[in-house]
A and B are shown apart, each in its own frame.
Chain A
Amino acid sequence: MRMLPSSLLLMAALAVTASLPAQNVALVAEHLYTMDTGARGGPGMVLIRNGKIEDVRQGANLQPPEGYQVIRGAYITPGLIDSDTTTGISGAYNIAADQDQEESTDPNTADVNVRDSLNPEDLLYQYVNTYGVTTLQVAPGPGNPIAGRAGIFKTAGPQSPFRTVDSLVVRLNSAMVFNLGETPKEIYGKSHKAPVTRMKTAEMIRNALLEAQQYQAKWDKWKKDGSDLSKQPTIELKTAALADVVSGKTPAIFNAYRADDIDTAIRLGTEFHLQYMLASVAEGYLIRDKIKQAGVPCLVGAVMQPFESLETSNATYENAALLQQAGIPISIMTGYEAYVPKSRVLLFEAAVAAANGLGMEQALRAITVSPAKILGIDDRVGSLSKGKDGDVVVFDGDPFEYTSHVQQVLVQGAVTFSRPRP
């Protein structure tokens, strides 16, 4: 009981920290990229008040208003969005103590939620902020056919005060993650447990979704019949989570590399009328017509990974460009890394795409407004326009040039990273 007041005090202090009005900031750019219909590389200024964008002005020699902290930069863009990553739940040390992305005790872990693994104090969670990532969708690892629920969060940078996971939430249950291809087979197959084959992975997912449909129907009927508590169906957490997927409340992410696995994902998505996205898609370019026809967005996986599996051996630096040119909505994602480096840098992955057919502006779209739209969070993030979150990155040169630097990162108007003076 004596602990209670102090912990309440701590919670109150945190609540105050989280809701402290951020300083008013004026960001003045030589090259402003708002990523909406506004500035495309001309000079301009972004004003942030109380964490939100108050105004965006275009033109040279703009005078910042009185009382605003002024930050000047060569290139200014919206905060970057990593549309699918394990950063934050797959820690930097890569030892059992900090690996919380892979609940490989059961191929169906639909009931788990990344929120309960996320560690905002992890070195890599802060590291990605120093490279401009302000929003990320954290997804469970690639091992389980039904891996659990992803969530969308703001990042915390080195200069962020202590942040609780809940203070960083943009959206919980943003997606249910399904993994196809090699990894589930590897994890379970080696101890002769299901799935050993791709057939079984697909069967397990179909069965679980079918069960979820039946579960949903049972609950719908119970509600329709008057919600008599004595007749209430048993609550099954995994099935309930999947019922949200089959009823369209939670979108699905199918993580697939090989073209035939992508095809399997489309087959499953079509059969169960899911709202879904494709992730990783190393061979997406080989099946882009089918993806386009299915109308599914692609979260395009990292391409600088080693060729450590057969399913990534046809990866190409042009994947993002080829998918984008086919008219498929794309974003770039970093995914999961098992060894060194333990996290991919979204900015670097987009840079490779930029230099391999996608071009600078489209590559920037693929890590800002495009993922915001695909994930349905474009009312808050992804572009610099009035009323949106004050999430901004300041660069001293072309954002994608290897030798440029991220000078400042702001999340909701607060500077989370400022480059140390060299």
Chain B
Amino acid sequence: MQKSKAVLVVLLVVGGGLVSLAAAQSTHDQSVLVVQGAQILPISGPPIAQGVLIVKGGKIVAIGAAGKVEIPAGAKIEDATGKIIMPGIVDSHSHIGIDANPTVADSQDANESSGPVQPALRALDAIDPMDPNIRMANAGGITTANIMPGSGNVMGGQTAYVKLRGATIEQMLIPGTIGGMKMANGTNPKGYGARGQAPMTRMEEAALARGIFEKAQQYKAKWDAYTKAVAAGDKTAKEPDRDLGLEAVVQVLDGKRVVHNHTHRADDVMTVLRLADEFHYRVVVHHGTESCEVADELAKRHIGVSYTVVDSPGGKPEAIHLSITCPARLEKAGVKVAFNTDDPITNSRLLLRSAALAVRGGMSEDAALKGLTIYPAEMLDLESRVGSLEVGKDADFIVLSGAPLSVYTHVLETWIEGEKVFDRSNPVDLRYATGGFQVISRYPQSQVGAQ
């Protein structure tokens, strides 16, 4: 009896989550919030020295210089004098929630290593919204993320485009999005080879990828023929069997779902391009360790790179040529570069740092800041909602204590759709920024680094 009661409670809670999702969309705080005094970096335009940002219903309703923007009467005023405000960071490649913290086997759900082609898998079915890594990402200023299956499979599954807030995946998912498709080539899917299974070689990886796209083309043709026949009034037309995986791959072929392709070596990058050319799908190169060697090939196809900045080369042979100069070389060739955490490979509190290290490697500060905001937003087809501070966009922004690319700067506040999700002055939030959130009661009283 007790058990069934518990089940009932769970159902109510889950159901409540679904209901409140709909509610959340319409019950955004309709009061007006004014954040003023900070230097604002809208990304879509030049910095505003004494900026004013006005938020209503989770959206930006006005932005501009002090004195040029009318402050509505009765608005809640937040003073940010001396601070810097920029858009919430968009992480185009993360495993938070799906490779949850701490990284022990029980909480690892990114790699379904039972088969190398898994288009039917959905990351959203394995994301734990309670993963402390998500709060840590907030502490790092990340507001939007593409949470993906891992790179152990040639086709790893459907990714999830989320806002980093909420207690359920439904509250996290960005309405109207279906996510991307994770693919990988090079070393990682060859993990099957060690067990005597395919793929054992890069050749086989490419063959498996071609195989699933060929199948999806056939599947699509079958459904197109059926739809056409029905439309023509053919009552004998037989509905083809549904295939959950192929449906998702057809969305790739139809351009509705972008392929996010893990790849390191230059020849592997070219394999990604070869497949995308052959099957005419949209793709973003992820990691792209040697992508700067084939930057022109990327530039002429207008394909961007979601780059992972790590501290040293190697760890595996295909990453041996890693260099912080690669993003700068891509920029010079006209390739758009986004920075990703690949959390847990780099920690979500440190994505600003990745962009800063790219500047150390020669990238312009302008491209580096776009690589944290509007470029990843474009790679996720979210540029109309997030990635810059413009009227009509989601009120996702962060308040910084200083220059965005300085080591001494801290993220002070993170806001998603007009709601504060991280506040460094809150003692609990602070421990997600520094670490030690599980031992807050025993954390030494010293206030080092509080601001």
A contacts, CB < 8 Å to B? 91-95, 123-124, 127-128, 285-286, 288, 303-304, 306-310, 312-318, 321-322, 325, 337, 339-345, 348, 351-352, 354-358, 400-405, 422
Contact = CB atoms under 8 A, between A and B. Distances in A.
B407 A286 contact: no
B448 A322 contact: yes
A286 B405 contact: no
A309 B104 contact: yes
B30 interface: no
Interface string B188-208: 000000000000000000000
Contacts of A309: 102-104
14 contacts: A92-B312, A124-B313, A127-B312, A285-B436, A304-B347, A313-B438, A314-B438, A317-B434, A318-B446, A340-B319, A355-B407, A355-B408, A355-B410, A402-B406
Contacts of B362: 422
Contacts of A404: 360
B242 to A, nearest CB: 39
A401 B406 contact: yes
Interface residues of B, number: 46
B312 A402 contact: no
Contact of A92 (B102, B313, B353, B448): B313
B399 to A, nearest CB: 17
Interface of B: 101-104, 133, 310-317, 319-320, 343-347, 350, 353, 356-357, 359-360, 362, 405-410, 431, 433-436, 438-439, 442-444, 446, 448-449
B102 A307 contact: yes
Given A128-B312, A318-B434, A340-B319, 5 more contacts: A93-B320, A95-B317, A309-B103, A314-B438, A341-B315
Contact of B435 (A127, A303, A343, A354): A303
**Residue of B356, B360, B448 ringed by the most chain A CB atoms within 10 A:** B448
B103 A306 contact: yes
B176 to A, nearest CB: 32
**Residue of A309, A345, A402, A405 ringed by the most chain B CB atoms within 10 A:** A402
Contacts of B133: 307
Contacts of B443: 285-286, 316
- By Cβ-Cβ distance, the 3 closest A-B pairs, closest first, are A357-B448, A92-B314, A340-B315
**Residue of A317, A321, A354, A357 ringed by the most chain B CB atoms within 10 A:** A317
B412 to A, nearest CB: 14
A108 B191 CA distance: 32
Given A285-B444, A307-B103, A402-B357, A317 B449 contact: yes
B365 to A, nearest CB: 8
A318 B449 CA distance: 7
Nearest to B342: A340
B118 to A, nearest CB: 23
Contacts of B103: 306-309
A306 B407 contact: no
A304 B448 contact: no
B314 A402 contact: no
Contacts of A286: 439, 442-444
**Residue of A124, A286, A342, A357 ringed by the most chain B CB atoms within 10 A:** A342
B311 A343 contact: yes
Contacts of A314: 435-436, 438-439
B407 A400 contact: yes
Contacts of A306: 103, 343-345, 347
Contacts of B438: 313-314
B97 to A, nearest CB: 13
Contacts of B310: 340-341
Nearest to A317: B434
Main secondary structure of the interface of A (DSSP, over half): loop
A313 B102 contact: yes
Contacts of A403: 356, 359-360, 405-406
A357 B446 CA distance: 10
B313 A127 contact: yes
A354 B448 CA distance: 11
B434 A402 contact: no
A98 to B, nearest CB: 9
Contacts of A340: 310, 314-316, 319, 345
Contacts of A128: 312
Contacts of A304: 311, 346-347, 350
A356 B433 CA distance: 10
A112 to B, nearest CB: 23
Contacts of B449: 317-318, 321, 355-357
**Residue of B353, B435, B446 ringed by the most chain A CB atoms within 10 A:** B435
A355 B408 CA distance: 5
B315 A405 contact: no
Contacts of B431: 316
Contacts of A285: 436, 443-444
A355 B451 CA distance: 10
A124 B439 contact: no
B312 A344 contact: yes
**Residue of B316, B357, B436, B442 ringed by the most chain A CB atoms within 10 A:** B436
A262 to B, nearest CB: 14
B312 A343 contact: yes
Given A308-B103, A317-B449, A400-B407, A94 B434 contact: no
B269 to A, nearest CB: 18
Nearest to A87: B312
A342 B133 CA distance: 22
Nearest to B345: A340
Contacts of A316: 431, 434-436, 443
Nearest to A305: B347
A409 to B, nearest CB: 16
B344 A307 contact: yes
Contacts of A337: 315
A344 B311 contact: yes
Contacts of B316: 93-95, 339-340
Given A316-B434, A352-B407, A400-B407, A345 B444 contact: no
Contacts of A400: 407-408
A123 B444 contact: no
Contacts of B360: 402-405
B345 to A, nearest CB: 6
B347 to A, nearest CB: 6
Contacts of B345: 306, 339-340
A402 B444 contact: no
B347 A401 contact: no
Nearest to B450: A357
Contacts of B446: 318, 321-322, 325, 357
A312 B436 CA distance: 10
A301 to B, nearest CB: 12
Nearest to A283: B439
Contacts of A288: 444
Contacts of A310: 102, 104
A317 B347 CA distance: 12
Nearest to A282: B435
Nearest to B315: A340
Nearest to A122: B314
A317 B133 CA distance: 15
A303 B436 CA distance: 12
Contacts of B312: 92, 124, 127-128, 341-345
Contact of A94 (B104, B315, B356, B436): B315
A314 B101 CA distance: 11
